[in-house]
Amino acid sequence: MIGNDLVDLRQAAIESNWRRKGYLVKVCTPEEQELVLEASKPDEMLWLIWTMKEAACKIIQRKTGIRRYEPINFCCGSLNINKKNSSGIVSYFKDSFLMRSELSDTFIHSVAVSALKDFQHLHLQYLRPEPDYRTAFNRLSEFYQLAGTPSGIPELTHQITGQKHAVSVSHHGDYLAVIYSDSLLLAD
């Protein structure tokens, strides 16, 4: 399974007041709070942690069918951060997910997978965040059809085999990302 999340840093600066009293305590573990507060760029560190947790949460939601977000129960660790990307692990009770994140001046994008081998066959498509993004994706894709389930969960179908493939969609502000695997089936 895969999950992804992104944050438009300009939009987040306008919409979010994460420095308000009690916010970090609700979202971050004490160790994560320390990382945010001691970072040279605290906003970016918070949104990195946020996107990592949200990407892992999307896997849990797909796995359990329950749409609930409990950020404090998703714990980021083993962070390795450099100028343009990062990696780490997010744990949620007994589950652990491997993370890779892209860090840019305008957005942060994180991808979660269940196993290291899953990173090898991922495809990423950035699109404009418009209501008809599925049609835009389908025009670009030769073999896949992106749709949504009645509950709003993205669904990717191979047009020749009819198999359902792992897919995750995320959007915020000026960005929308579709990440999918041509080898990882939804049942995996």
Residue 7, C-beta contacts closer than 8 angstroms, at least 6 positions apart: 47, 50, 51, 107, 108, 172, 173
Whole-model pTM over 0.85: yes
pLDDT of residue 181 exceeding 70, the answer is: yes
> Which amino acid would we find at residue 46?
L
Domain tally, the chain: 1
Q: How confident is the model at residue 187 (pLDDT cuts 50, 70, 90)?
A: low
pLDDT of residue 188 exceeding 60, the answer is: no
The CATH number of whichever domain residue 101 belongs to comes to: 3.90.470.20
Q: Where in the sequence is the domain holding 27, given as residue range(s)?
A: 2-185
pLDDT in tens, 112-154: 999 999 999 899 999 999 999 999 999 999 899 999 888 788 9
